[in-house]
Chain A
Amino acid sequence: AQSVTQLDSQVPVFEEAPVELRCNYSSSVSVYLFWYVQYPNQGLQLLLKYLSGSTLVKGINGFEAEFNKSQTSFHLRKPSVHISDTAEYFCAVSSGGYNKLIFGAGTRLAVHP
């Protein structure tokens, strides 16, 4: 079985500062990893995903994430955040097939002017 831990429930940051949202996973098999973003009163949208290959994955809105197998981590980063990045961010893991996508508890990113 897989599990996902998002280490920070809230991350406050000033506009134009860099940010890292942390995600660790646990699995006994190979996994696919995802980051989704949820803006207020909306459904989730995919930011990026790691399936295989290069461990650095670039996504939409200037976000990127790095898969680290030895540390079982998939941290999300952005070099310079905007007010509009304020949202809830979810890390998720799947082992493929018809297996379910397991979500972390979410990290609330609050960008302040």
Chain B
Amino acid sequence: DTAVSQTPKYLVTQMGNDKSIKCEQNLGHDTMYWYKQDSKKFLKIMFSYNNKELIINETVPNRFSPKSPDKAHLNLHINSLELGDSAVYFCASSQDGTGNEKLFFGSGTQLSVL
């Protein structure tokens, strides 16, 4: 079983559309994250949740809204998609978010906005 799974793997859409990416972890971890990797491979954290509570909320446009229905799921909804949103989005999880732990990453969702 995949530890951190995210869907879809590829997402191609038009500017202005609204889309969601789903993420689930079966590791029993308390903390989940969304990272954005740009075309130059630079990785930047967007959000983190600990037990459904928002912990980190980086300077991300409010068109991006994470939702954590339970601690095993952290979904990312994006409104009014823009060309600059094209990137690979990674979901990750860790045991309790204390900063000294291993992060487990999903395999990524490649978002292409046309």
Contacts and interface: CB of A to CB of B under 8 A. Distances in A.
Contacts of A32: 99-100
A98 B48 contact: yes
Interface residues of B, number: 24
B83 interface: no
5 contacts: A36-B103, A44-B90, A94-B99, A100-B48, A100-B58
A46 B56 contact: no
9 closest A-B pairs (Cβ-Cβ)? A43-B105, A96-B99, A94-B99, A103-B43, A106-B41, A46-B102, A32-B100, A44-B105, A100-B45
Given A101-B99, A105-B41, A108-B41, 16 more contacts: A32-B99, A38-B41, A42-B108, A43-B90, A44-B43, A44-B92, A51-B100, A94-B99, A94-B100, A98-B56, A98-B99, A99-B99, A101-B45, A103-B42, A103-B43, A103-B44
Contacts of B41: 38, 88, 105-106, 108
B4 interface: yes
Interface in A1-56: 32, 36, 38, 41-46, 49, 51
B30 to A, nearest CB: 11
A98 B107 contact: no
B4 A97 contact: no
Size bracket of the A interface: 20 to 34
A50 B56 CA distance: 23
Given A90-B43, A98-B56, A101-B45, A46 B103 contact: yes
Contacts of A98: 48, 50, 55-56, 97-99
B43 A41 contact: no
